[in-house]
Amino acid sequence: GGTTLSAKSYFEIQSMEVWGVGGKDIVQAALDGRRKARELREEGIRRARKVDKAQFLDDFRSGAIDSKAFAYKQQIDGRADQDV
């Protein structure tokens, strides 16, 4: 396969980036904060996906949602045999 470095090989580092994060407690606090933020975001997504079926039906009936599903109600308004 590829070439490997032997114990006597040398290489030149062009640049090195070093980050200080403040120790184990600070890293754990950051990880906990990230976990909590993800949970909150996921909960918001779950809530947004839920549909209040009663409200949805009311919106259809009231005409708030453009649909012909309940158009018959307007067509039968005032008819003597109306029993809906």
Report pLDDT digits (tens) over 19-48: 887 889 998 999 999 999 999 999 999 888
Question: Would you state the pLDDT for residue 33?
Answer: 96
Range list of β-strands (E), the chain = none
Higher pLDDT: 5 or 17? It is: 17
Q: How far apart are CA 79 and CA 72, in angstroms?
A: 12
Place of tokens 């909590």: 36
Looking at every residue in the chain, the average pLDDT score rounds to: 79
pLDDT score, position 69: 64
Q: What is the pLDDT of residues 62-83, one digit of tens each?
A: 766 666 666 666 667 666 665 5
